[in-house]
Structure formats: C-alpha cells, structure tokens
Amino acid sequence: RTLVASLSYLFLKQYDAVGLSLFNESLISHVPPRSKPNHFKHILHELAVLSPNGITKLGDIIESMIERLPRRGILILVSDFLTKESGVEKKLKLLVARGLEVILFHILDSDEVSLPFNGDIIFESLEDDSSIQLDPADIRETYQRAIQDQIKYYRSHCVKLGIDYIFLETSTPLEQGLTYYLLQRKNLGKHRAL
C-alpha cells in the first residue's frame, strides 16, 4: 500500500494522471485516472479500505481490463505473485503490445522468502479458508527453492518482454528500494530486472 501511495503521489506531483485498480480473482475496486492533486485522497481511501483476500488471477484480470487501459502510459503491477499462472507471459505481452510501459513490483515478506519458523505450526491461508499444520523445518529447503523458482519465473518473463521487474522484500526500507530502482532506471535505461 505504501509503495502504491508513494508512486501515486510522485506521479500526481508531476501532473500525470493516476488510476488504481485493485483485484484478486476479479476487479474489487477501480479509480479512473485523473491528474488533479485532490485525486490522491481517492486513491488513499481505496488503499485504506482494501482487505486482501482471494487468489490473484493476474492473467484473467489483464484479459478483462485490456480494452479499458490507455494505449500508452505506465502500468505498474504490485503483488506477491505467489501463484504461478500458466500463460501469464502471454497476458503481459498484451500489455506491452498495447504500448504500455509495464513495471512489475514483486513484493514478499522476508518470512515468505525464508520460512524461518520452527516447531509444529498451523499456517492459515490469506487467500481462502484452507490451513495446514506442519513443522517448517521439514519443508524449508523445498519451499525456499519453490519461492526462488517463482522469482526467477517472473523475472525471466519480464526481461524477455521488456518489462521492468523489481523484487522487494518488506524488510527493505521502501525508500531504499524505490530510490535504487529509480537510479538504476535513470542510469541504465529501461527494462531491467532488479
């Protein structure tokens, strides 16, 4: 939320139009793009009332929204991207083909990356009503490999499609991650994976 609010604020300060679409399996909320400074309060309100739940289906959302997106501009996707969707690269390619500059922020909590817990624990899904009881030590190595594979999956597809890919852990101060990205973008040109 802080990342989206910060980027929205920066763009609005430049009098760029900013919109916001929140989704999981379907569109939850949409704030049409506007460039007026008071538009920021509408974006903040939607972010404040957001209650993340449900499985994210990025490919389906892109397909359903592609026609209402502008033919040029910047589209920033922010998610944990924990679901590996087959065919998502084709949907991302549609965005690029539409003339949009796409930036993908892949955000994970440090605990989601390392699974540092020990002992018998019940893990409850934030996306549905499922839960599982296990000792993380039993699956840690396999889990960490799966997370790294997921990061590589999105990074490689983004690089191939000319999409900026930025992986950030929540333990990294936002200003540090954002500053690093903006400096790299300025110095190296577009379309890198960080």
The mean of the pLDDT values for the chain is 88
Per-domain boundaries in the chain: 52-188
Can you give the pLDDT at residue 154?
92
Which residues sit opposite 78 in a β-bridge? 105
Does the structure show a pLDDT above 70 at 192?
A: no
Q: How far apart are CA 187 and CA 4, in angstroms?
A: 23
User: How many other C-beta atoms can be found within 10 angstroms of the C-beta atom of residue 103?
Assistant: 20
Distance CA(16)–CA(79), nearest Å, equals 23
DSSP for 43-62, written as a single string: HHHHHHH----S---HHHHH
Residue 191 has pLDDT above 60, yes or no: no
Pairing of strands 131-134, 121-124: antiparallel
Q: Extract the tokens encoding 146.
A: 């799966």
CB-based contacts of 43: which residues, under 8 Å, 6+ apart?
4, 5, 8, 18, 20, 31
Model confidence over 18-58: pLDDT tens digits?
999 888 878 888 899 999 989 999 999 999 998 777 777 88
Across the range 114-124, mean pLDDT stands at 92
pLDDT digits over 130-149, tens only? 899 999 999 999 999 999 99
pLDDT class of 188 with cuts at 50, 70, 90: low
Amino acid at 84: K
Which tens digits make up the pLDDT trace of 158-170?
999 999 999 999 9
Task: Check whether 85 has a pLDDT greater than 80.
Answer: no
**Mean pLDDT, range 177-193, rounded to an integer:** 72
- 59-63 long-range contacts, CB within 8 A, separation 24+: 59/85, 59/87, 59/88, 59/90, 59/91, 60/25, 60/26, 61/21, 61/23, 61/26, 61/27, 62/91, 62/92, 62/94, 62/95, 63/91, 63/94
